[in-house]
Amino acid sequence: MKRIKTAKQLTFTYFSIVAFAIIAFHFSMFQSVIENVEMIYAENRMLKDKNTAVERLQGTNLTHLSIPPFSEAYVGQESLPLGVVLDPNMTDDLPYELDEASDTNLEVFSMRSQVIINGEQKTLYIIHYDEIYEISEAQMFQTQSTQLMLSLLLLVVSLWVVMRISMRLTKPLSQLSQFLTSRRPGDLSPIALPEGAATREVHLLVACFNDYQQQIQGLIERERAFNRYASHELRTPLMVMKGAVTLLGKTDSPEFIQRQQVRMRQACQEMEDYILTLLSLTREEDLSSIPKRLVTMTELESIKQAHMMYLVDDQVSVHIQMQNGLETKMSEPIFHILIGNLLKNAMASTEKGRIDIHVVGNHIDVIDTGCGLSGKPGGESYGLGLMIVRDICVKYACEFSLQDNAKKGCIASVTFP
């Protein structure tokens, strides 16, 4: 498996590559400039010495002429001294270094020109060697070496600064990775900011981690709630079905059998509604794509009739007042569970009196005349039923409130978006 480098190792590697590239580019540019300057100087010098040689050779039969301080002029190739080998690709009036076969280790330049001497066209060769320039070139390279040492020192200092910056930037990430590695698998507590986390990216990373953990925590809580709700809320319809089955085996009366069948159908429907509702609470849904539907008086009456069995005696009455149709994105089973739990809680806390279901605008109020929030309800569903109601309201962006009635009992209100 390929070893993954740390941020400091990558910083050092990339910085070294860039530093080497800068030094190499600097020296190649310096060498190129020195050679170009030398070539331009030699060309201008030999062109000037060519004109001087032509003037001085007029009216003479000389084939060699010294042009102080650094040039020699030769008429015809046969007059060149031994050991001078010209570049075979020479072009007139351009400077060339002597061929490597020449008997010299110095940088000697040559130029070939066609000139008129004593009325005749002759080939003139200028041989140029500037000792002063060679010394100056060596001094420039020496100066450049000093600059190289200063540049290397500056690069070392820059590397130290970059490494310090890199350590400061990567230290919070290193601490964060170590912290996450040492955490227990089930630990979903918020992650604290690492020491020295001064950059916006680290803050954003930690915030995203915490948001992600909250989402996981929410999924786990919904799963636990599903198990808790299912084990409790499905118990009642199962007991109804079990009791109905037991009673069916004790009588042959058609009317009694029909009543037990109705109870079983209602219990089965309630179980189905609970299962659909609880499964809906545990999964993510795009509510924006769900169309709204209209809640009618008939639907509220069916919810009322399905829960009349929870009344202990006839001293409690249930009334529905609906001023307008209510629109909601909840499906019928989920809406039935929502209102049914509010109705069951009202029935469980009311021993005598009435329960009113009011639909006004986008509000539904369930008002009872029972013991109120300070009293003790007579049914166990009071706590878990309201938890289901709250979870449904959170998912469908509804507002839920439960408060004491000014007269007696309490008011459970749901406001739909």
**pLDDT, tens digit (0-9, with 9 covering 90-100), for 374-401:** 765 443 344 567 777 888 888 888 899 8
Least confident of 163-177, 187-201, 227-241: 227-241
Q: Residue 190: pLDDT above 60? A: yes
CA distances from 335 to 42, 183, 311, 401 (A): 99, 42, 21, 17
Q: Residue 198: pLDDT above 70? A: no
Longest dimension (CA), the chain: 156
The token pair that represents 12 in the structure block: 């050092």
Q: Residue 100: pLDDT above 60? A: yes
3-class DSSP state of 162: helix
Q: Which of the two residues, 154 and 414, has the higher pLDDT score?
A: 414
Q: What is the pLDDT of residue 382?
A: 45
Least confident of 18-22, 54-58, 66-70, 393-397: 18-22
- Closest by Cα among 393, 417, 414, 277 to 343: 414
Q: Which of the two residues, 196 and 388, has the higher pLDDT score?
A: 388
Mean pLDDT across 357-361: 88
Q: What is the pLDDT of residue 266?
A: 73
Q: What is the pLDDT of residue 113?
A: 92
Mean pLDDT across 130-156: 72
For the domain made up of 290-415, give the CATH fold: Heat Shock Protein 90 (3.30.565)
Q: What is the pLDDT of residue 301?
A: 87
Q: What is the pLDDT of residue 139?
A: 67
Q: Residue 188: pLDDT above 50? A: yes
Q: What is the pLDDT of residue 378?
A: 43
Mean pLDDT across 199-216: 80
Average pLDDT, the chain: 78
Contacts of 375 (CB under 8 A, 6+ apart): 349
Q: Residue 48: pLDDT above 80? A: yes
- Closest by Cα among 328, 334, 344 to 397: 328
Burial of 409 (0-12, 13-18, 19+ CB in 10 A): buried
Confidence band for 202, pLDDT divided at 50, 70 and 90:
confident
Confidence band for 112, pLDDT divided at 50, 70 and 90:
very high
Q: Which of the two residues, 69 and 136, has the higher pLDDT score?
A: 69
Q: Residue 347: pLDDT above 80? A: yes
Q: What is the pLDDT of residue 380?
A: 38
3-class DSSP state of 269: helix
Q: Residue 168: pLDDT above 70? A: yes
Top-confidence range, 184-188, 191-195, 237-241, 348-352: 348-352
Q: What is the pLDDT of residue 41?
A: 82
Q: Residue 163: pLDDT above 80? A: no
Q: Which of the two residues, 285 and 162, has the higher pLDDT score?
A: 162
Q: What is the pLDDT of residue 121?
A: 92
Q: Residue 225: pLDDT above 70? A: no
In the chain, the percentage of residues whose pLDDT exceeds 70 is: 82
Q: Which of the two residues, 156 and 248, has the higher pLDDT score?
A: 156
Q: What is the pLDDT of residue 379?
A: 39
Contacts of 311 (CB under 8 A, 6+ apart): 347
Q: What is the pLDDT of residue 233?
A: 62
| Distance from C-alpha of 124 to C-alpha of 67, rounded to nearest angstrom | 13
